[in-house]
Amino acid sequence: MSDDSKSLERHSNDLEVEAFLRQVAAAPKAPRSGPRGRLIFAMDATASREPTWAQAAEIQAEMFREASALGGLEIQLCHYRGYLKLEAGPWSSAAEDLLRQMRRVHCLAGYTQIARVLRHALEETGRRKVDALVFVGDCVEELADELAAVAGQLGILGVPLFLFQEGQDPLAERSFRQMARLSGGAYCHFDAASPQQLRDLLSAVAVFAAGGRAALERWGETRGEAVLRLTHQLHRG
């Protein structure tokens, strides 16, 4: 690849990251009923993600540490794998607890169960307000209309979906983008070869869920160029 092509690719990635962060900042942040923000972190743990699972787990661990440092966010891990196997852990604000849960997960062949994840989020926010749902996956094997309908219900309840796509599946991208739009959340593609980018994006969502736009602005001042540009835009907005 030529230097010019590499430069264009980096510029395109920067723009996508910046657009995602703007959407995070613009997402609805309804008043919550408890003292802590609550975020569901859901993962596709089917066989297709096994090659990058270990790296993704370490990246996601950074998000837990960021959230723990804020002291105002509870996270529930949720994943599916195998045949109709969906697991949701206990709510926790302790990074080490979340890391132990993450390390116990092993990928297993099976179909996607994103609709079940979204319905689980509906049930949880019915018990007590959920501030956001993060989903990391690489494909969609369900009806797009069904997923869109549940995503829209979450949007009405003020639960934005932040969807991260690994890989280049165009069907998954269309479905992820639609769910993000209908819920008031955001979509972003990530490259497993660029772990820092995903780390910053996940952490941005955690900061937003814990403290809203003001916390995201403060946090952005300590992060990379794309996050810093977002901070400046928020101050102008």
pLDDT tens, residue by residue, 62-112 = 767 766 665 568 889 898 888 888 999 999 877 778 778 877 787 788 899
Here the tokens at position 41 are 């972190």
Q: At 47, which CATH number? A: 3.40.50.410
Q: How many structural domains are present in the chain?
A: 1
Task: Give exposure, 118-142, as e/b (b: 16+ Cβ within 10 Å).
Answer: bebbeebbeeebbbbbbbbbbbbee
- Is pLDDT of 164 > 80? yes
Compute the mean pLDDT over every residue in the chain, rounded to the nearest whole number: 77
Which residues in 121-226 belong to E strands, given as ranges? 132-137, 161-166, 186-190
For residue 137, pLDDT beyond 80: yes
pLDDT of residue 222: 67
> Is 226 a member of any domain?
no
How much of the chain exceeds pLDDT 70, in percent? 67
In a domain, 137, yes or no: yes
In a domain, 3, yes or no: no
Domain presence at residue 4? no
In a domain, 144, yes or no: yes
Domain limits at 128?
A: 37-212
Residue 153 lies in a domain: yes
102 found inside a domain = yes
Query: Is residue 26 in a domain?
Result: no
- Tokens matching residue 55: 């790296």
Task: Give 137's DSSP letter.
Answer: E
